[in-house]
Protein backbone atom coordinates (compact mmCIF):
# COMPACT_ATOMS: atom_id res chain seq x y z
CA UNK A 1 0.00 0.00 0.00
CA UNK A 2 1.22 3.46 -0.89
CA UNK A 3 -0.20 6.42 0.98
CA UNK A 4 0.95 10.04 0.57
CA UNK A 5 -0.43 13.08 2.31
CA UNK A 6 0.67 16.60 1.33
CA UNK A 7 -0.21 20.17 2.18
CA UNK A 8 0.69 22.45 -0.73
CA UNK A 9 0.39 26.11 -1.60
CA UNK A 10 -2.05 26.95 -4.42
CA UNK A 11 0.70 27.01 -7.03
CA UNK A 12 0.52 24.89 -10.19
CA UNK A 13 4.28 24.29 -10.15
CA UNK A 14 4.17 22.93 -6.61
CA UNK A 15 1.27 20.67 -7.61
CA UNK A 16 3.19 19.37 -10.63
CA UNK A 17 6.26 18.68 -8.49
CA UNK A 18 4.19 16.61 -6.04
CA UNK A 19 2.53 14.76 -8.93
CA UNK A 20 5.88 13.74 -10.42
CA UNK A 21 7.21 12.63 -7.01
CA UNK A 22 4.18 10.36 -6.60
CA UNK A 23 4.33 8.98 -10.15
CA UNK A 24 8.03 8.25 -9.75
CA UNK A 25 7.40 6.12 -6.65
CA UNK A 26 4.45 4.16 -8.06
CA UNK A 27 6.46 1.88 -10.34
CA UNK A 28 3.55 1.33 -12.74
CA UNK A 29 4.40 0.02 -16.22
CA UNK A 30 0.97 0.66 -17.73
CA UNK A 31 1.43 4.00 -19.54
CA UNK A 32 -2.33 4.42 -20.09
CA UNK A 33 -2.98 4.11 -16.35
CA UNK A 34 -0.12 6.50 -15.58
CA UNK A 35 -1.59 9.07 -17.99
CA UNK A 36 -5.00 8.71 -16.31
CA UNK A 37 -3.47 9.24 -12.86
CA UNK A 38 -1.40 12.24 -13.99
CA UNK A 39 -4.32 13.90 -15.76
CA UNK A 40 -6.69 13.33 -12.83
CA UNK A 41 -4.17 14.64 -10.31
CA UNK A 42 -3.47 17.73 -12.45
CA UNK A 43 -7.16 18.51 -13.01
CA UNK A 44 -7.98 18.22 -9.30
CA UNK A 45 -5.05 20.44 -8.30
CA UNK A 46 -5.93 22.98 -11.00
CA UNK A 47 -9.53 23.11 -9.72
CA UNK A 48 -8.37 23.58 -6.15
CA UNK A 49 -6.04 26.41 -7.17
CA UNK A 50 -8.68 28.09 -9.33
CA UNK A 51 -11.35 28.06 -6.63
CA UNK A 52 -9.21 28.51 -3.49
CA UNK A 53 -10.14 31.28 -1.11
CA UNK A 54 -7.27 33.74 -1.35
CA UNK A 55 -8.27 35.50 1.90
CA UNK A 56 -7.72 32.65 4.36
CA UNK A 57 -5.43 29.67 4.80
CA UNK A 58 -5.43 28.62 1.20
CA UNK A 59 -3.25 25.53 1.47
CA UNK A 60 -4.50 22.57 -0.52
CA UNK A 61 -4.62 19.16 1.14
CA UNK A 62 -3.74 16.23 -1.09
CA UNK A 63 -4.09 12.56 -0.20
CA UNK A 64 -3.01 9.83 -2.62
CA UNK A 65 -3.74 6.14 -1.92
CA UNK A 66 -2.68 3.18 -4.04
CA UNK A 67 -3.73 -0.28 -2.84
CA UNK A 68 -5.82 -2.36 -5.25
CA UNK A 69 -7.45 0.95 -6.10
CA UNK A 70 -6.33 4.51 -6.68
CA UNK A 71 -7.80 7.31 -4.61
CA UNK A 72 -6.89 10.96 -5.05
CA UNK A 73 -8.43 13.35 -2.55
CA UNK A 74 -8.00 17.12 -2.83
CA UNK A 75 -9.41 19.60 -0.28
CA UNK A 76 -9.46 23.38 -0.32
CA UNK A 77 -11.38 26.35 1.04
CA UNK A 78 -13.63 28.17 -1.42
CA UNK A 79 -14.46 31.85 -1.13
CA UNK A 80 -17.66 31.98 -3.18
CA UNK A 81 -20.52 29.68 -2.25
CA UNK A 82 -21.65 29.69 -5.90
CA UNK A 83 -18.42 27.92 -6.86
CA UNK A 84 -19.22 25.16 -4.37
CA UNK A 85 -22.71 24.84 -5.85
CA UNK A 86 -21.29 24.66 -9.39
CA UNK A 87 -18.82 21.91 -8.45
CA UNK A 88 -21.52 19.93 -6.66
CA UNK A 89 -23.86 20.26 -9.63
CA UNK A 90 -21.24 18.91 -12.04
CA UNK A 91 -20.21 16.02 -9.77
CA UNK A 92 -23.85 15.06 -9.10
CA UNK A 93 -24.54 15.07 -12.84
CA UNK A 94 -21.51 12.83 -13.43
CA UNK A 95 -22.38 10.48 -10.55
CA UNK A 96 -25.88 9.84 -11.89
CA UNK A 97 -25.20 9.52 -15.59
CA UNK A 98 -25.22 6.45 -17.75
CA UNK A 99 -21.69 6.22 -19.21
CA UNK A 100 -23.22 5.70 -22.67
CA UNK A 101 -24.79 9.16 -22.38
CA UNK A 102 -21.50 10.93 -22.96
CA UNK A 103 -21.56 14.16 -20.95
CA UNK A 104 -17.98 14.86 -22.00
CA UNK A 105 -18.86 15.31 -25.66
CA UNK A 106 -22.12 17.07 -24.78
CA UNK A 107 -20.11 19.58 -22.72
CA UNK A 108 -17.71 20.16 -25.60
CA UNK A 109 -20.69 20.83 -27.89
CA UNK A 110 -22.16 23.29 -25.34
CA UNK A 111 -18.86 25.18 -25.20
CA UNK A 112 -18.62 25.37 -28.98
CA UNK A 113 -22.19 26.62 -29.34
CA UNK A 114 -22.30 29.21 -26.58
CA UNK A 115 -21.87 32.89 -27.36
CA UNK A 116 -19.78 33.81 -24.33
CA UNK A 117 -16.57 31.94 -23.73
CA UNK A 118 -14.95 31.72 -20.34
CA UNK A 119 -14.29 28.82 -18.04
CA UNK A 120 -14.94 25.50 -19.74
CA UNK A 121 -15.40 23.47 -16.54
CA UNK A 122 -14.17 20.41 -18.46
CA UNK A 123 -11.75 19.07 -15.85
CA UNK A 124 -14.23 16.97 -13.89
CA UNK A 125 -15.69 15.55 -17.11
CA UNK A 126 -12.16 14.61 -18.27
CA UNK A 127 -11.48 12.85 -14.97
CA UNK A 128 -14.63 10.77 -15.40
CA UNK A 129 -14.36 9.98 -19.12
CA UNK A 130 -10.65 10.01 -19.94
CA UNK A 131 -9.38 9.00 -16.52
CA UNK A 132 -12.21 6.56 -15.85
CA UNK A 133 -12.30 7.70 -12.22
CA UNK A 134 -15.47 7.88 -10.16
CA UNK A 135 -16.05 11.22 -8.46
CA UNK A 136 -17.51 12.17 -5.13
CA UNK A 137 -17.27 15.11 -2.74
CA UNK A 138 -17.59 16.20 0.86
CA UNK A 139 -18.58 19.69 1.95
CA UNK A 140 -17.95 21.42 5.24
CA UNK A 141 -20.30 24.38 4.79
CA UNK A 142 -19.41 26.04 8.08
CA UNK A 143 -15.89 26.70 6.79
CA UNK A 144 -16.54 26.59 3.00
CA UNK A 145 -14.26 23.62 2.55
CA UNK A 146 -14.74 21.18 -0.32
CA UNK A 147 -13.08 17.83 -0.77
CA UNK A 148 -13.20 16.16 -4.17
CA UNK A 149 -12.50 12.44 -4.25
CA UNK A 150 -11.50 10.54 -7.40
CA UNK A 151 -11.35 6.74 -7.15
CA UNK A 152 -10.50 4.02 -9.61
CA UNK A 153 -10.10 0.26 -9.35
CA UNK A 154 -7.29 -1.19 -11.45
What are the domain boundaries of the chain? 2-153
Which residues, in sequence order, are CB contacts of 96 under 8 Å at separation 6+?
A: none
CB 7 within 8 A of CB 77: no
| 148: pLDDT strictly greater than 90 | yes
What per-residue string of b and e applies to 134-143 under the rule 16 or more CB within 10 Å gives b? ebebeeeeee
Q: For position 97, what pLDDT does the model report?
A: 77
Lowest mean pLDDT among 23-32, 49-58, 98-107: 98-107
DSSP character at residue 151: E
Residue 55 — φ and ψ, nearest 5°? -95, -15
| 8: pLDDT strictly greater than 80 | yes
- Per DSSP bridges, beta strands 145-153 and 2-8 are unpaired
CA–centroid distance for 134 within its chain: 10
Q: For position 118, what pLDDT does the model report?
A: 47
- The pTM of the full predicted model, rounded to 2 decimals, is 0.84
Span 2-153 CATH architecture: 2-Layer Sandwich (3.30)
Amino acid sequence: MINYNFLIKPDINEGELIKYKIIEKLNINNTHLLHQIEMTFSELIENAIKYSDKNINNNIEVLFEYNGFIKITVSNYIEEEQNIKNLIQIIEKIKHINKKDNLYFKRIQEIIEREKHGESQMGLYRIFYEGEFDLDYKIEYSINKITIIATKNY
